[in-house]
Amino acid sequence: MVEASDGLVLEPGMAVIARGGMHLMIERADASFVARLSGQSERTYTPSVDELFSSGAAAGGRTALGVILTGMGDDGLAGARDLVTAGGALLTQSAPSCVVYGMPRCVDEAKLGAVSVPLDAMAAEIVSRV
């Protein structure tokens, strides 16, 4: 792993998960993308998918891909709007494959999801788009 100042340079195949109480933010650093943690936000949820997607939209624009999986509430809806407005793509987990269809439902009802995918097909769909 390569660190860039107070962030982590993202590399192909890498997965980064925010720790509790912190938001994961994506920023562009020259030709790379950097993941940084931030504790500052007015969002209800921490970490927040809205924060992640909004920062990803700003950093990646039309190259950004967001994925909303099973979850409760509407976290991710505002960030999904930012991502789609920036030209990025969005996938949601299909209702039958969700334990809780709250988060994907909100995005699907807002007509923001590019495609709704069963969980067992999600990895292949992501790989086909990157």
Model pLDDT for residues 41-55, shown as the tens digit of each residue: 677 778 999 999 999
Write down the pLDDT at residue 45.
Answer: 78
Write down the pLDDT at residue 2.
Answer: 46
DSSP assignment string, 24-68: EEEEEETTEEEEEEE-----SSSS-HHHHHHHHHHHHGGG-EEEE
What digits encode the pLDDT tens for the residues 105-126? Answer: 999 999 997 789 999 999 999 9
As a whole number, mean pLDDT of residues 50-74 equals 95
What digits encode the pLDDT tens for the residues 96-109? Answer: 999 999 999 999 99
Rounded Cα gap, residues 63 and 20, in angstroms? 27
Domain 3-129: which topology?
Rossmann fold (3.40.50)
Break the chain down into helix, strand, coil percent, rounded to 5. 35, 25, 40
What digits encode the pLDDT tens for the residues 8-32? Answer: 999 988 999 988 889 999 999 989 9
For the entire predicted model, the pTM comes to 0.89
Rounded Cα gap, residues 127 and 124, in angstroms? 5
